[in-house]
Structure 1
């Protein structure tokens, strides 16, 4: 129950002290200059405590930020993330624990996290290079996830100090876009086809045709394995549907990848001569239960084709670029590549400018009449 007492200072000023005592909760006390404010605070606070919403005076004062990080590591990481992603996140969580772990949840504030941002920008990586804007963004992305659980599921906070983008992040550099021009594509395709490694050519064509990530490509199976990979995405070929179904993708969702044209033809050829000691499409000759290592053959093909400054991941950029230049919308490109939002595919927008111009021109021609002279 709330108890409101009228007080008078030595100078004759009147104020009101409110004390709320509820069984099972710490007493709450506050002072106000007006009686109406005192009554309003007493009413709202008492209701919030009874409904479990007054976190700052209950759970937020009982738990430290280190407690939140420890609970996240034990309850969330093993369930929500692959083994590889767990390894990526744990050092980041250790850093945050050392930086702010001693503070109780109730004391966390936006200025604290702004100071951490500035500290990270001065930090150096294992290679001795300064932390990039992208690295700082990753650190904050991980800790935002911890705070989300503290607010929504554990009720240790009423609201996150990182809500509403209160902390300004350093500006990220423009994403790399390196794709093959027509001549480079022809030379590299020929070099892969002539490679001493017979799996390089079908792997290259499948990557170029579908835009799949290397990890997705190298973990394709003819049928679902009993023990699928836990550190990367994997997929199953469904020739009866002319498609691949990917599981455990980077965005956490299944993705259907159409097979068509030369890529479909090459996969069918692989199915006719596949090994009986493995279900992998691209098995290692020495360890058939492991994916093949194509790095040596790939680097040789690049040298033979005289293609410089090109990585395997750039095949994915090439697919996206070709889609844009052939009139695909950003939403369609995002769907093919498996992105949840358009943010990652906006880098290809300029490649579809001609298509956009045609669409706008067509619309204008239908709704406006232009009179000559």
Structure 2
């Protein structure tokens, strides 16, 4: 797309599903990149495949961008390194780089950009005033040490470090720094096979009982509300005694336990993702942590609950579990914690239902590779954390040391 980059054109531009560029017809090399988030950034392309960011359209004017571009193109024509000149002219602080450069890119390209940007700004608040070149391995190691001493989990520290390294990698790629300052800083060692938390049989029973008790409380409250309305001849609300579920919580919990879906996948599940006639649920790659699509077979319990939930569907939202405003639930913490308290279940997160799903499969003899495929793990190491729950395989292995086919057992142990 081409046009005169000025206020009228810029105001008329609308975001699309994919990033697109508008090239200035007055100055060859000047362009405006429009992200799906609506963020717009000026760039100057001074050679084939080489460009420099000039700033966001909501920060600098088209005329400012054009003047900067002229200077950079002039340097390139004279044989000077425009990237080097740009670095000297503006060396970002970590904070300005995140705000002016990285955030727009993350919103358009990182599925979990909200959490990523929040962690970068909160976990590295002390870094924001530093120049990008002032962030050193020693500084990061001191930051890590302080976090661990304060009781932060190593896995959390690793996640924050990954975000920092990724953002600085982009700063290098885009020409704001010559080298990645902390590329060789390694993650904190974590026991990836630590014992996972999953529900015991007794805890599952108590959880189901607590969910049923909550369902009854919600139905009883609706009965009282309708009785009050009837006395005043007001329109009655849906009679919850006529439907399978009082609200969203129980079917969300049950579906989590029977599919192993992550909360984000569950919250963004749509009716188009369900193929009830074939008993298949699809988690599309753009909704999955691994970015890869997977198909989860629905067992009879999961299929029945979805069929019943579909029958009582009243919202026009495509989401299977819409909030009151039709969007996805950000969280169900209050009602979930209420049920856990009633069930006397402690130290158990929503994500642990995913662990419960996997753990029960392994204990029932399902092989780890099948479990990996159902969970959508891209790394087999993640699935190995459940291996200890299949002791019969290890027992069979060590039993071979004493099980001699000729009837001579025990010699291996005695030798």
TM-score bracket, shorter-length normalisation: 0.5 to 0.7
Deviations 1:254-310 (A, max 9, x none): 3322212201111112122211433332234x5455549744543443344333332
Report the CA distance shift for 1:361/1:210 in structure 2 as closer, same or farther (over 3 A). farther
Q: Which 5+ residue runs of structure 1 have no aligned equivalent?
A: 1-22, 27-54, 224-235
Q: Distance in 2 between matches of 1:93 and 1:72?
A: 17
Residues 166-185 of structure 1: pairs in structure 2 closer than 5 A: 166-172=184-190, 177-185=196-204
Tell whether the 8 Å contact from 2:120 to 2:163 is kept in structure 1 after alignment. no
Q: Distance in 2 between matches of 1:172 and 1:262?
A: 36
Report the CA distance shift for 1:86/1:133 in structure 2 as closer, same or farther (over 3 A). closer
Moved more, 186-195 or 153-162: 153-162
The two structures, once aligned, show a CA RMSD in angstroms of 4.1
Which residue matches 2:348? 310
Q: Distance in 1 between matches of 2:349 and 2:276?
A: 29
Q: Identify which of 125, 139, 146 aligns with 2:160.
A: 139
The question of 1:24 aligning with 2:79 is answered: yes
Q: Distance in 2 between matches of 1:146 and 1:332?
A: 35
Q: Distance in 2 between matches of 1:154 and 1:219?
A: 33
TM-score, normalised to structure 2's length?
Answer: 0.58
Which residue matches 2:129? 98
Q: Distance in 1 between matches of 2:163 and 2:392?
A: 39
Q: Distance in 1 between matches of 2:156 and 2:281?
A: 33
Which residue matches 2:358? 320
TM-score, normalised to structure 1's length?
Answer: 0.63
Tell whether the 8 Å contact from 1:121 to 1:130 is kept in structure 2 after alignment. no
Q: Identify which of 379, 387, 400 aligns with 1:349.
A: 387
Which residue matches 2:106? 77
Q: Which 5+ residue runs of structure 2 have no aligned equivalent?
A: 1-77, 219-244, 410-415
Deviations 1:200-228 (A, max 9, x none): 332222110111122322332223xxxxx
CA displacement at 1:73 relative to structure 2: 0.8
Q: Tell me the number of residue pairs that the alignment of Structure 1 and Structure 2 aligns.
A: 296
Which residue matches 2:49? none
The question of 1:206 aligning with 2:245 is answered: no
Tell whether the 8 Å contact from 1:246 to 1:255 is kept in structure 2 after alignment. yes
